[in-house]
Amino acid sequence: MALSKKMESALNEQIILEAYASFLYLSMASWCEQKTLDGCAEFMHRQSDEERMHMLKLFNYVNEVDGHALTPAVKQAPHEWPSVQNLFQQVFEHEQKVTKAINNLVDIALQEKDHSTSNFLQWYVDEQREEEALMRSILDRIKLIGDGPQSLYYIDKEVRAINTRAQQGPAGGK
């Protein structure tokens, strides 16, 4: 079954959102490097790569089902954040926005009786649950440690450990 125009256009919108997330997290990685938060920088680089993978997975799917995947025009991501806690808060809020967008895509797929796309999107539904849980756990730890100048070393150490576990996948434990 070919993609409906409505579904195709909604999937192309999602490609833009995933591409923006990839650049946003790359910009955050750069900010972290400036602050010598190397563990946080590694984490954001990995997240940025993941978002590019999310974008490409959608891109390839659209073409596979005979739609036309469009390379996204991405708006400029911010370059500065007031604190590391604020940075992770922004990540968490962006992921919540992506979750809403994915849920909306599933709604459209169901309205269009497009079971192939609905099935394809389930991978993103699971991924968003994991990403939100991961970001929430980092924020909880930062709140526990505090994000004053004395705490940055410990935050960075924690985020590096979380990043190593995330690299190992679910079997590595979250």
By beta-carbon proximity to ligand FEO, the closer residue of 121 and 152 is 121
CB of 173 to ligand FEO, least distance (A): 20
Chain centroid, CA 17 distance in Å: 9
By beta-carbon proximity to ligand FEO, the closer residue of 11 and 152 is 11
Scored b (16 or more CB within 10 A) or e, 90-100 reads ebbebbeebbe
By beta-carbon proximity to ligand FEO, the closer residue of 95 and 114 is 95
CB of 133 to ligand FEO, least distance (A): 12
As to burial, measured by CB atoms within 10 angstroms (0-12 exposed, 13-18 middle, 19+ buried), residue 138 is buried
Which amino acid is present at 124?
Y
Q: Give me the residues that bind ligand FEO (CB under 6 A), please.
A: 18, 21, 51, 54, 95, 98, 131
CB of 151 to ligand FEO, least distance (A): 26
